[in-house]
Amino acid sequence: MLKQTLIVLSLTVIGIGIFSFTLNRKKSSAKQKIVRTIIVDAGHGIMANGGHNGAKGAYSYEDEICLAVSKELVKMFKEQMPEIKIVESRPTEKITAIHRRAEIANENKGDLFICIHVNAAVPKKQTEISGYKTVTYYEGKGKNRKKKTKRVPIYRTWSIPNPAKGAETYICGAHKNDDKELAVRENAPMMQEENYKKNYGDIDPNTPEFIALSLLKTKQYFKRSAALAGYVQDEFAKVGRVDRDVRQRQVGIWVLQATAMPSILVETGYITNREEEDYLNSKKGQEETAACIIKAVKTYITWLEKQQKESGNNDNTIKQNNAGNISSFLQSIEDREQLNAVK
């Protein structure tokens, strides 16, 4: 009888343990549902002609470092946050077209877009006087014209590597509407590309509709992008990297404009600084960089959960509200144009 009782008690304890584990696992999974899919974008890549695309250091190329750091980041995500789906926009050394990167992110309904790049700085010019030479010149006219000489310095000019170092994270700016409109127009050369319609669809960056959509999209995700970028920089500072802060770009980063999700571009360091080039090519540097980004994402998720809990909104509600805002905004543009046509 005692034996049977002990067996029953043991099974009960085991059952409770299994139930608790399952419940906790469900709770953990539920927490992570706030970020379901992350797009990891390795900048640049080997072009069709076999050439490198991006900055060059003393012995390495930007696209190589971008891919190595991205692979380390993907590996850590899968190990530490297996509940999140990770999509690579450039999984191999070959380049992925810019428009395709944004398409991949949007097709997979990403919740975050993390683009990995490497910075570069132009060499600094140095000048010194290396000697003097005598030059002849004349003053006056006619009989009063006199020949004179003077000594002038000879300059020697050379370049030295730029000492710029550190990491910085970019987001698409939203603080100035005029700048944002400039950003949209700066991408106008896309329209001159071969197969433009096929690659970018029926887009005219100069139309009020496209500018309005860009402004609303940027406003929608600006706070989240800025928060994640700030957390990334905080983590870099903690491990001793030079913190070059969060920066806003109003021109030139199509992937930050065309992705319908919070998006950041991480400049992991300067390939033109030999010390940093060595760091970025080392296993330690690549692992440390990836680890900083992972920690930042975890902090971002905690922050976002708190934000949504306080507001009582979920992502679907936010997206529906923004969709309504966009429709209303564009409708107002259409109504105003029709009114002007009548006048």
pTM summary value = 0.70
Do 170 and 229 fall into the same domain? Answer: yes
Instruction: Name the token pair of 174.
Output: 């939203």
Quote the domain boundaries for residue 142.
Answer: 124-160
Residue 294 domain-assigned? yes
Mean pLDDT score of the chain: 77
Do 103 and 154 fall into the same domain? Answer: no
Q: What are phi and psi of 150, to 5 degrees?
A: -150, 155
Do 141 and 69 fall into the same domain? Answer: no
Which secondary-structure segment (H or E) carries 165? Answer: none
d(CA 308, CA 92): 37
Residue 93 domain-assigned? yes
Q: What was the pLDDT predicted at 193?
A: 47
pLDDT band of 249, cuts 50, 70, 90: low
User: Which residues have a Cβ under 8 Å from the Cβ of 126 and sit 6 or more positions away?
Assistant: 157, 158, 159, 160
At which residue do the structure tokens 């690549």 appear?
Answer: 286
Give me the mean pLDDT over the 16-30 stretch.
45
Residue 20 domain-assigned? no
Do 226 and 111 fall into the same domain? Answer: yes
Pairwise pLDDT comparison (164 vs 311), residue with the higher score: 164
Do 244 and 287 fall into the same domain? Answer: yes
DSSP, residue by residue, 9-77: HHHHHHHHHHHHHHHHHHHHHHHHTTS-EEEEEE---B-TTS---S-B-SS-BHHHHHHHHHHHHHHHH
Do 179 and 96 fall into the same domain? Answer: yes
Distances (CA, A) of 341 to 5, 332, 333, 336: 88, 14, 12, 9
Q: What was the pLDDT predicted at 8?
A: 41
Buried b (16+ CB within 10 A) or exposed e, 239-253: eebebbebebebeeb
Distances (CA, A) of 116 to 7, 282, 289: 56, 16, 10
Residue 21 domain-assigned? no
> What is the dihedral angle through the alpha carbons of 325, 329, 332, 336, rounded to the nearest 10 degrees?
170
pLDDT band of 327, cuts 50, 70, 90: very low
Residue 262 domain-assigned? yes
Residue type, 274: R
Residue 281 domain-assigned? yes
Instruction: Name the token pair of 231.
Output: 């957390």
Per-residue model confidence as pLDDT tens digits over 186-237: 344 344 445 655 655 555 555 555 555 555 555 678 889 999 999 999 999 9
Report whether 118 contacts 42 (CB < 8 A): no
Do 112 and 190 fall into the same domain? Answer: yes
Give me the mean pLDDT over the 118-131 stretch.
88
Residue 8 domain-assigned? no
Q: 210: helix, coil or strand?
A: helix
Q: What was the pLDDT predicted at 91?
A: 96
Residue 333 domain-assigned? yes
Is a pLDDT exceeding 90 seen at residue 267? yes
pLDDT band of 147, cuts 50, 70, 90: confident
Report whether 293 contacts 70 (CB < 8 A): no
Do 306 and 219 fall into the same domain? Answer: yes
Is a pLDDT exceeding 60 seen at residue 316? no
Q: What was the pLDDT predicted at 181?
A: 41
Per-residue model confidence as pLDDT tens digits over 69-105: 999 999 999 999 999 999 999 999 999 988 889 889 9
Q: 304: helix, coil or strand?
A: helix
- % of the chain beyond a pLDDT of 90: 44
4-18, 57-71, 260-274, 309-323: least confident range: 4-18
Do 322 and 289 fall into the same domain? Answer: no
Q: What was the pLDDT predicted at 312?
A: 72
Is a pLDDT exceeding 50 seen at residue 320? no
Report whether 214 contacts 257 (CB < 8 A): yes
Do 74 and 180 fall into the same domain? Answer: yes
Do 73 and 145 fall into the same domain? Answer: no
Instruction: Name the token pair of 317.
Output: 């509600």
d(CA 230, CA 239): 15
Number of domains in the chain: 3
Do 154 and 266 fall into the same domain? Answer: no
Is a pLDDT exceeding 80 seen at residue 21? no
In CATH, what number is assigned to the domain containing residue 62?
3.40.630.40
pLDDT band of 298, cuts 50, 70, 90: very high
